[in-house]
Amino acid sequence: MGSTITEKILAKAAGKETVKAGQLVDAEIDVIMCHDVTTPPAISMLEDKKIDTVFDTEKIVVTPDHFQPAKDIQSAALHKRLDKWARKHNIRYYYKIGQAGVCHALLPEQGHIRPGEVIVGGDSHTCTYGAFGAFSTGIGSTDLAAAIATGKLWFKVPESMKFVLNGSLGKGVYSKDVILEAIRLIGTDGALYKAMEFTGPALADMSMEARMTITNMAIEAGGKNGIMGFDDITKEYLDGRLKGKTDYEVFESDADAEYCRTIEIDCSKLEPMVAMPHLPSNGVPISKCAGKDMDQAYIGSCTNGRIEDLRIAADILKGKKVAIRTLIVPATPTIWKMAKDEGLFDIFYDAGCVISAPTCGACLGGFMGVLAEGEKCVSTTNRNFVGRMGHPKSEVYLTSPATAAASAIEGKLADPRSYL
Amino acid sequence: MAKAHKYDRDHINTDEIIPARYLNTDDEQELAKHCMEDLDAEFVKKCQAGDIIVAGEDFGCGSSREHAVWAIRGANVSTVIAKSFARIFYRNAIDNGFYIIETPDVDKISDGDEIEVDFENGLIKNVTSGKDINFEPLPDFAREIINNGGLLEHIKKATTD
């Protein structure tokens, strides 16, 4: 019996020939992602326990993002703690405001994600990096503290579920629609504790940006990690971009690797999807929900705040006016500048959108666009739980950037295909 | 003896356990004031020291915020009993030395029942209904972490032993 890509990466990290699903392993960590919400508590724990050490100053990447720029005095204090710690330990890759961005857009863009490595981060959407053929998973503050101090963590090797993405995406249908369909099929705990491995011909047509949207939402099905194989598109994205260590090892699943379940999705048959409140698994095709009134549109986040997403939205908004409050949140300063240089900001401005600095902001109900009681938001983010973007009685409808842009123009859920 | 606060629902998520608008602090007592706020605004008022939260499948899904465990512990909840837990919440609980119980038999507990938990022997005694529930205790390595007072104490112990 062969091994999956996830098993192979964990075996290498644990210094073993092979490992199998269910086995507990101690794995060496290659990259640790630290942000402003979960890292300050980890720092305090390390200080309290008098083990305030850093295992490797070059393997930790720090960026404030959730509440940056500081939204209030308390979040400013979190940033201050993070800043003091990063300076004290001479963390090599510390992105301060001006360079800081939404972590899961920033780390790949800045060349910190390499195939075949083990990456952890104090954020559930750390599974994003699996798009590069890495094992990547989210952890809490205590695990983060342990990883920072020791460079190791224990893992139970997950079983793998295989998602075969067949066919090709039609006009107006994007990778976001694919992952919303996958989560609809298996539910928000359908991949609990499992690796979600994506493969198939539809993937070959997707950019790294589009692929990251898929692995980003593995956690919304309960997955431990999302993962994809390496190909020319991965290589092209990485060439000339990697910081520090530029070599990497590529792993792929064996033909006889074991999967607990295989799910086939015919991407040619997909429509634009909308995940209705209050679960990411409540996906319905746009044809069944178009026309529902919205109060706000939000285009951004670690799921869909990359340059390709902004280009897709701008393409639809060009020459149009939005009917509802519409927020554009480029995920990193580089994306912000690209959007400006490409003239996308003019399109957004002319359409009546507001453009924000890079931040996680309102995706998690932090600031920069939170919702009042009863308000509805069409959003390119990843979660639509009760109270996620504001008042517990507000509602979030998850879509692709194209669907969010079309809905912004009409002020109600709308099919982007009529704008393309 | 502890009182059960039962939420007969699956997928109770971290945004309901501790809304992100309160994540600008990591002070446990401050977080505890808002524990379960978006699910049950009365929870903190009615929860007495040692009480127990009872829920369905996939408890704690969503964010990796350990603040969810701290808010629950800070509200003096002694354990959470659920049909299943989301992976990161489960791990965070063990890391914090906070014992949680996974059992398919949560239907044998009703809201307001008085219950006693024997963690060592894997037994929940429902004093109100008289129905007992046997549960699989946590795996040995997890109990070792909990008994050492959480992951960091566990690591410290391992490095000084």
| Percentage of residues of chain B with pLDDT beyond 70 | 99
pLDDT over threshold 80, residue B160: no
> Which residues of B are less than 8 Å from A37 in CB distance?
23, 65
Dump pLDDT digits (tens) for A21-80. 999 999 999 999 999 999 999 999 999 999 999 999 999 999 999 999 999 999 999 999
- Region A202-225: mean pLDDT is 97
pLDDT at B159 over 80: no
pLDDT in tens, B20-50: 999 999 999 999 999 999 999 999 999 999 9
Q: CA A137, CA A20: separation in Å to the nearest integer?
A: 18
Query: Which domain range does residue B22 map to?
Result: 2-160
CA–CA min distance A228, chain B (Å): 21
Q: Would you call B122 an interface residue with chain A, using a CB distance cutoff of 8 Å?
A: no
Task: List the single residue in B62, B65, B156 with the smallest CB-CB distance to A38.
Answer: B65
Could you tell me if A51 and A94 lie in one domain?
yes
Residues of A within 8 A of B87 (CB-CB) are 192-193, 222, 224
User: CATH no. for residue B110?
Assistant: 3.20.19.10
With an 8 Å Cβ cutoff, are A192 and B58 in contact? yes
Which residue in chain A has the smallest CA separation from B57? A189
- Is the pLDDT at B67 greater than 90, yes or no? yes
* Inter-chain residue contact B10 with A189, CB threshold 8 Å: yes
Residues A337, A236: one domain?
no
φ, ψ at A300 (rounded to 5°): 170, -160
Average pLDDT over residues A171-200: 97
**Do residue A36 and residue A114 come from a single domain?**
yes
Residue A140 shares a structural domain with residue A172: yes
pLDDT, residue A417, reads: 98
| Nearest Cα to Cα of residue B91 among A20, A192, A16 | A192
Measured in angstroms, the CA of B89 and the nearest CA of chain A are apart by 8
SS3 content of chain A, % helix, strand, coil (to 5): 35, 20, 45
Burial (CB count within 10 angstroms: exposed 0-12, middle 13-18, buried 19+), residue A286: buried
Percent of chain A clearing pLDDT 90 (strictly above): 100
| pLDDT for the residue B56 | 98
Q: Are residues A285 and A396 in the same domain?
A: yes
Longest CA–CA separation in chain A, Å:
61
Neighboring chain B residues of A192 at a CB cutoff of 8 Å = 58, 84, 86-87
Of B15, B65, B84, the CB nearest to A37: B65
Predicted complex ipTM exceeds 0.90? yes
What CA–CA distance (Å, rounded) separates B63 from B88? 8
Are A256 and A332 within one domain?
no
Q: What is the mean pLDDT of residues A114-120?
A: 98
Chain A: residue nearest B160 by CA?
A51
Same domain, A216 and A71: yes
* pLDDT tens sequence across A321-370: 999 999 999 999 999 999 999 999 999 999 999 999 999 999 999 999 99
Mean pLDDT for A301-317 is 98
CATH of the domain at A315: 3.30.499.10
Rg of chain A on CA atoms, in Å: 20
User: Is B25 within 8 Å of chain A by CB?
Assistant: yes
What is the structure's pLDDT at B4? 98
With an 8 Å Cβ cutoff, are B64 and A366 in contact?
no
Specify the pLDDT at position B120.
85
Q: Among partner residues B21, B65, B153, which is closest to A366 by beta-carbon distance?
A: B21
Nearest CA in chain A to B27: A41
Same domain, A261 and A350: no
Q: Which residues contact A403 (CB under 8 A, 6 or more apart)?
A: A272, A273, A274, A286, A378, A413, A414, A415, A416
Whether residue A4 has pLDDT greater than 80: yes
Whether A246 is covered by a domain: the verdict is: no
Check whether A244 has a pLDDT greater than 90.
yes
Query: Where does residue B83 rank: exposed (0-12), middle (13-18), buried (19+ CB within 10 A)?
Result: middle
Q: Which residue has the tokens 């039962």?
A: B6
Instruction: Give me the domain span that covers residue A295.
Output: 271-419
Q: Is A46 on the interface with B (CB under 8 A)?
A: yes
Q: Does residue A295 belong to any structural domain of this protein?
A: yes
Mean pLDDT across B58-73: 97
pLDDT at B161 over 70: no
A40-56 pLDDT per residue, tens: 999 999 999 999 999 99
pLDDT band at B141 (very low <50, low <70, confident <90, very high): confident
In a domain, A384, yes or no: yes
